[in-house]
Amino acid sequence: MNDSPLRIGTWLSVGSPVIAELAAECGFDWVLLDLEHGCESESALPSQLRALRGFNTQAIVRVGGPNPDLIGRVLDWGACGIMVPHVNTVHDAFQVLKAAQYPPHGRRGYSRTVRAYGYGLRPPGDHPPAPLVIAQIETLEGVEHAQEIAAVAGIDALFVGPADLNFDLKAHHSARTYDECLQRVAKAAADHKKVSGILVRSLDDVPKMKALGFSMLAVGSDLSLMRDGFLKNLEAVRS
């Protein structure tokens, strides 16, 4: 089991700085700002990051892939880290790291005047801090290579994407069950002293995920909370 301390986050897809600020005010350890399936483009991201200033809530941005230009901008704008979907192999993991890290380990462009360094008022010196890098395991292939991915220096966490993983297992008629996949990912992370995380749709699933060793839990999302709240109110009034 992973002995990492429990860190509770939530998924933000609407793109609203007000919602990001409210999540931080409520005390989430981290929030995921979603550029892969979210409702807004990257132009909405800087305002959300500014809304989190002064809080202890970490801002993690999910990009659509290991795009060096986008990852560089996201980190320059002040994100604490990135999450990249569909990391299936060690090669994929290294592509992510190359985009997120400065030379000699990567190819990220360097500027002292970006928001992450106070527009030049807080230059990082010769050794800029490494960003948090989270690899999403969302396919059977990713599960099968979880041990090797977790072993890559610079990959800080393995994060299961439940919807994609379930979809992939069914699409390939896999004999391996979803629960077996969760166990493999959690064990791979623990074996290499990395964090394992997952998005939890139902609070009833939290004890099970904690027992498996998942310590980075995203609980619900802004869209699901609003959708369910709207439906609950409508049903209550109409009935």
Helix, strand, coil abundance in the chain, percent, nearest 5:
45, 20, 40
Residue 105 falls in the annotated catalytic set: no
Scored b (16 or more CB within 10 A) or e, 35-65 reads: bbebebebebbeebbebbeebebbbbbbbee
173's CB contacts (< 8 A; 6+ apart) are none
Q: Which of 37, 145, 172, 173 is catalytic?
A: 37
How far is Cα 214 from Cα 6, in angstroms, rounded to an integer?
8
Conformational region of residue 160, where left means phi above 0, alpha means psi within -120 to 50, and beta covers everything else: beta
The widest CA-to-CA distance across the chain, in whole angstroms, is: 64
Positions marked catalytic = 37
